Amino acid sequence: MKVLVVGSGGREHALVWKLKQSPHVKEVHCASGNAGIAKLAKCVDIDAEDIPSLVSYAEAEKIDLTIVGPEAPLAAGIVDEFERRGLRIFGPNKLAAEIESSKAFCKQLLRKYGIPTAQFEIFDDASEALKYVRSHGAPVVVKASGLAAGKGSIVCRSVEEAVDAVERIMIRREFGSSGDLIVVEEYLDGEEASVMVFTDGEAVKPMLPSQDHKPVFDDDTGPNTGGMGAYCPVPAIDEALFERIIETIIKPTVAAMAGEGRPYKGVLYAGLMLTVEGPKVLEYNCRFGDPETQAVLPLMDSDLVEIINAVIDGRLNEAEVCSSRRCCVCVVMASGGYPGKYEKGKVITGVEDAEALDDVIVFHAGTAVKEGQLVTNGGRVLGVTALGDDFLSATKRAYDAVSRIWFDGMHYRRDIGRRALRRLGLA
Ligand code: AMP
Ligand code: GLY
């Protein structure tokens, strides 16, 4: 079959890489891809949010299956539009994607169905919100309800910070209409983890849990980014805790969505805080995580296309999602200045040397080819990924690979995987 992947980052490279291993897949296309994806797929220069052009392309190229990476097209209704045209597509429709695109909807759903999450209030009025944060005190978390490219949640250590956060979102409107509503929620303490599952609206088949590293610098310091690295699985989540997450959080959420007349099909991603009271939902995403996918898919033994087809056809209970017992670590190499301003077009060397190592895969994010040379083309440039029989070997291999790659101004965290090693008593 011919598959179209929508998106252009490291997550999409990992999806394309995994799809290419399926005997069911004859050709992969990608809109719009990057230099790494271009080695595996036919890249077409259509923006991930340009739904009419994506529909026309899928029709003209006789694409059998479209898989959507980022949230924006899902929130805009790409699935509804493809289905209206009789095109096969994987992901939640617009109403179901609101679990990510409206934090207000998500929080109210969780409250209504008694699913563990932080206490919260929702406001549509800045003065009411300001009154609340002044009387409530800190720490507290202020969130724009709508999509904000991962930047709309502000953890506030003082009342002054909370006031500033409300003003940024509701008065200065830094996130536009995504800040029409805000969620002010209880600060939760603990370790964070990501659990992604496949669901067809009823059955749930989990992938292995993973951990992202959002702050830009080591030891979780500095501003938040799209994610500076990930590892899989998560030593902090043993079998009993994983079962508790699936049974008390994920399955009730899937049932709640069906109960609300918004059956959820696709990948459901729970961002969790592992608190002393148990796991609680920080947020839901309506898609694969980035960079979690780069650490999760290399461990997945099952055929991704078979799982996706089972989801679309509503027979996921017949499918198997199996993973190897190894460990995977993905270190993101970023452009100088990221997550702030950065320059593009820096020549990248050493990727082939890195890939020559056993059990190493270099997923591209912001890369392009210019005048025959591989150059940087975004904030997050590469996801250098390594497998190992344990976290020590996977981490060592990932950083061996990183040390072979160079571009002007590059930076990366040196502690990806350390939390896992510490938990195992190895760091
Ligand atoms: P979100 O966009 O809701 O996933 O939030 C982004 C990041 O903010 C999370 O990954 C956490 O690090 C942090 N965060 C969000 N909500 C809370 C909370 N209630 N308590 C503590 N940290 C939070
Ligand atoms: N890794 C965070 C996200 O995909 O939203």
Tell me the per-residue pLDDT of 216-226, one tens digit each, with 9 for 90 and over. 999 999 988 99
Ligand 1 shell residues, CB under 6 Å? 118, 141, 143, 153, 155, 185-188, 192, 214, 271, 282-283
Residue 396 lies in a domain: yes
**pLDDT (tens digit, 9 = 90+) per residue, 141-182?**
999 999 988 788 999 999 999 999 999 999 999 999 999 999
290 C-alpha to ligand 2 centroid (Å): 5
In this structure, are 172 and 240 located in the same domain?
A: no
The mean per-residue pLDDT over the stretch 78-92 comes to 98
In this structure, are 42 and 140 located in the same domain?
A: no
pTM of the model: 0.97
Cα angle vertex 68, ends 323, 305, to 5°?
40
| Domain stop point among 297, 318, 339 | 318
- Please report the pLDDT score of residue 150 as a whole number: 77
Residues 6 or more apart whose CB falls under 8 angstroms from that of 7 comprise 15, 30, 31, 48, 68, 69, 70
| Domain stop point among 295, 318, 341 | 318
362 C-alpha to ligand 1 centroid (Å): 29
Name the closest ligand to CA 193.
1
- Residue 95: pLDDT band (50, 70, 90) is very high
84 C-alpha to ligand 1 centroid (Å): 36
Percent of the chain exceeding pLDDT 70 equals 100
Nearest CA to ligand 2 atom 3: 289
Atom number in ligand 1 closest to CA 154 = 8
Residue 113 lies in a domain: no
Name the closest ligand to CA 289.
2
In this structure, are 82 and 143 located in the same domain?
A: no
In this structure, are 130 and 210 located in the same domain?
A: no
In this structure, are 140 and 198 located in the same domain?
A: no
Q: Backbone phi, then psi, for 132, in 5-degree steps?
A: -65, -50
In this structure, are 394 and 364 located in the same domain?
A: yes
Q: Are 278 and 148 in contact (CB under 8 A)?
A: no
Residue 64 lies in a domain: yes
The CA–CA distances, whole Å, from 427 to 217, 230, 274, 417, 421 equal 18, 17, 21, 10, 5
In this structure, are 296 and 390 located in the same domain?
A: no
Atom number in ligand 1 closest to CA 150 = 2
In this structure, are 314 and 331 located in the same domain?
A: no
189 C-alpha to ligand 1 centroid (Å): 10
In this structure, are 277 and 347 located in the same domain?
A: no
In this structure, are 332 and 314 located in the same domain?
A: no
Residue 149 lies in a domain: yes
CATH number at residue 46: 3.40.50.20
- Please report the pLDDT score of residue 223 as a whole number: 86
CATH number at residue 238: 3.30.470.20
Residue 292 has pLDDT above 80, yes or no: yes
Residue 258 lies in a domain: yes
Atom number in ligand 2 closest to CA 150 = 5
**pLDDT (tens digit, 9 = 90+) per residue, 196-235?**
999 999 999 999 999 999 999 999 999 889 999 999 999 9
In this structure, are 353 and 295 located in the same domain?
A: no
- Please report the pLDDT score of residue 108 as a whole number: 98
Atom number in ligand 1 closest to CA 224 = 7
In this structure, are 212 and 312 located in the same domain?
A: yes
CATH number at residue 154: 3.30.1490.20
Angle, in degrees to the nearest 10, between helices 10-19 and 304-312: 100
| Domain stop point among 318, 337, 367 | 318
Residue 186 lies in a domain: no
314 C-alpha to ligand 1 centroid (Å): 32
- Please report the pLDDT score of residue 275 as a whole number: 98
Q: Are 298 and 398 in contact (CB under 8 A)?
A: no
- CA pair distance 365, 388, nearest whole angstrom: 23
Pairing of strands 27-32, 42-44: parallel
| Containing structural domain, residue 362 | 327-423
Residue 347 lies in a domain: yes
How many domains are there within the chain?
A: 4
Residue 401 lies in a domain: yes
CATH number at residue 415: 3.90.600.10
- Please report the pLDDT score of residue 224 as a whole number: 86
